[in-house]
Amino acid sequence: MSILPTREDEVALGRIHRPEEGDSFPSLVLIHDVWGLSDHSRQLASALAAEGFGVLEIDLYRDGAGPPTEDPGAFIRSLSDPSVLSDLDLGADWLTSQSWGHKRKVGVVGVCMGGTFTLLAASTSDRFSAAAPFYGILSYDRGMLAAPEGRNRERKPHSPLEIADRLRMPLLASFGREDEFVPNDDVDRLEAALSGSGKPFTIDRYEHAGHAFLNRTREPAYRAEASQAAWGRLIPFLRSELA
């Protein structure tokens, strides 16, 4: 399929990217990383739209909550997972209310922090038909999302690992084997938990790639080979599951 010309518009929920032509296509909610809407999320959304999807680059910080000024981990811990997940459902509902998204399936894709929320949505939401997280942090009990004072269960009731066995939709998850924030044994635990869900899933692990390997705007993190391979897996997955 050839790359399509796209258009971008500001909307109440963030930015919408879609093919310039066509009156019906599947949709995606794209969840940004901890730094909010950025050149990175814009590039991803535009590239996905060029592949034939309507993409809502949802702004989780449109109420003025972020991005963080100091400690990204502490900032993510301060966010309410239930509120974010409700926002993602709102985004999916908005997409299906558009003339070109009516009666079409919606998927969810996220990077870094957005990958974590993608995994949570995949196990809790009935609005999405497919999920594709990139290197989401999996545990709330260790690493950057483990609070020194203990977890706030109202804001963080379940980590992705704790509810992965409730997976509701096909999932393609991508991780770098050298990710400093997502230990390989956490990915092993995720795979084991997903196996109990009865839903189809695939976990791809990329050699010589760390956190944010898809991010072209972060030269130290970007890995061209892993990025191209992951993109080559992502697009066929989304086309198949959202057809």
So what's the pLDDT on residue 2?
59
So what's the pLDDT on residue 103?
95
Q: Rounded to whole angstroms, how far apart are CA atoms 214 and 221?
A: 8
Residue 64 is classified by DSSP as S
Name all domains of the chain by residue range, CATH numbers in brackets: 6-242 (3.40.50.1820)
Q: Rounded to whole angstroms, how far apart are CA atoms 182 and 185?
A: 8
So what's the pLDDT on residue 64?
87
So what's the pLDDT on residue 34?
97
> Position of tokens 């032509």?
21
Secondary structure E strands in the chain? 6-11, 14-19, 27-31, 54-58, 106-111, 130-134, 171-176, 201-206
Residues of the chain with pLDDT under 50: none
Q: Rounded to whole angstroms, how far apart are CA atoms 221 and 148?
A: 28
Which string of DSSP letters, residue by residue, matches 123-164? TT-SS-SEEEEES----SSSGGG--TT---TTT-S--HHHHG
pTM metric for this prediction: 0.97
Residue 232 CA: distances (Å) to CA of 26, 63, 147, 197: 18, 35, 36, 26
**Cα-only R_g, the chain:** 17
